[in-house]
Amino acid sequence: MKVLVTGGGGFIGSHVCEYYARRHHQVIALDNLSRFKLLKKSSANALYNWNHLSKLGVIRRVRMNIGDFSALRKIMSGVNLVVHTAAQTAVTMSVLDPLTDFKSNAIGTLNLLEAARQQKKPPVVVVCSTNKVYGENVNQVRIRELKTRYVFQKAYRLGIAEDFGVDLCEHTPYGCSKLSADLYAQDYARLYGVKTGVFRMSCIYGTRQFGVEDQGWIAWFVIAAVTKKPVTIFGDGKQVRDVLWVDDLIRAFDAFYGSHEKHTVLNMGGGVRNTLSLLELVSFLKERGFSLKTRFAPWRSSDQKVYISNIRKAKRVLAWEPQTSPGEGVSRLVEWCVQNKNLFL
């Protein structure tokens, strides 16, 4: 089949490209290579994943902005599956520049959906949404404080399900733009019949992830540990996320493509069995010989103390479940960062 991956030069996008290329499908990676410029970080490793794709030899790489509707509609011709990972990904950046955030996340996704609708045979569209669509409502769930983490009360012991409220709460511009994209994807399925899968993702991590303080916290902590850089923990470090290894995520995407579902919204993460707090990750790294330098700072606005995806629907609908434990995944990431230490210096 023919697969188009927007944001193909990014962390998740490049893994999606590689997954389908290694299975001998025709893959187009589309990216404007703007992430590090938007985050105002060093661009020294901005092309790493983009160049990695060139080594596979069978992936067509196109440098393009999804805001170019005519070009997007043209390149989508004959495509069977679109995996839409292109986005502005940092909450902090969205607060500093909400207009750019909205253009990338909301308008960019609308362009993509409309380009898909206008094809003779619309492709299946996978949209990468986020747990941030639930906003501050998550912090209304009662929690208990333990030694190294916060935990949800019993009513939410399996995590946040897809019917959890998104209204009447603070979201941040990032949450607003991603929720807009999320809702448009749902409507394009219902109104126009485009098969769309909306994946509201929690913490996705893996190799070739260039985490920074603003986004990709597991990778950022591991990189800092390997390179002996200091890390700032905002709050007390007991905040918890469910974590999902990137290969497990892509298996879920592929399962949706092959399913009979015409449209679905899925909370996507490691679920209640695959969780980490910041303090627990620091301890895990110290146990493996990495002395992570940490300092504490006040809580950041809109930070969720606990977010865990309830993945029962994903298990049922996709016949899928995570296969990589946090211990195994973080160990793999540490090994990759050690082997590629020069990328982070």
Q: What is the CATH number of the domain that holds 212?
A: 3.40.50.720
Using the predicted structure, report yes or no on whether residue 214 has a pLDDT greater than 90: no
* Higher pLDDT, residue 211 or 76: 76
Mean of all residue pLDDT scores within the chain: 94
**CA 39 to chain centroid:** 16
- pLDDT beyond 90 at 165: yes
Average pLDDT over residues 279-299: 95
- Cα–Cα distances (Å) from 204 to 62, 76, 88, 281, 302, in that order, read 25, 27, 15, 15, 19
Return the minimum-mean-pLDDT range out of 45-59, 115-129, 226-240. Answer: 45-59
Residue 39 pLDDT grade (very low, low, confident, very high; cuts 50, 70, 90): very low
Angle at 298 between CA 295 and CA 301, to 5 degrees: 130
Which residues form the domain of 242? Answer: 2-344
The pLDDT of residue 87 is 93
Q: Average pLDDT, stretch 133-143?
A: 95
- Write out the catalytic residue numbers: 174
Distances, alpha carbon 102 to alpha carbons 56, 122, 178, 212, 330, in Å? 33, 25, 8, 21, 32
Residue 100 predicted with pLDDT over 60: yes
CA 200 to mean position of chain CA atoms: 8
pTM beyond 0.75: the answer is yes
Tokens 């569209």 correspond to what residue?
Answer: 125
Question: In terms of DSSP bridges, do strands 240-245 and 275-277 run parallel, antiparallel, or are they unpaired?
Answer: antiparallel
Q: What is the mean pLDDT of residues 234-261?
A: 98
List the beta strands (DSSP E) in 186-239. Answer: 196-201, 203-205, 231-234
Q: By the 8 A CB rule, do 55 and 16 touch?
A: no
Domain count, the chain: 1
Give the Cα separation of 276 and 155 in Å (integer).
20
* C-alpha pair distances (Å), 82 with each of 19, 60, 123, 267, 314: 14, 14, 7, 19, 19
Going from the C-alpha of 248 to that of each of 16, 30, 244, the distances in angstroms are 11, 22, 7
Residue 40 in this model has a pLDDT that exceeds 60? no
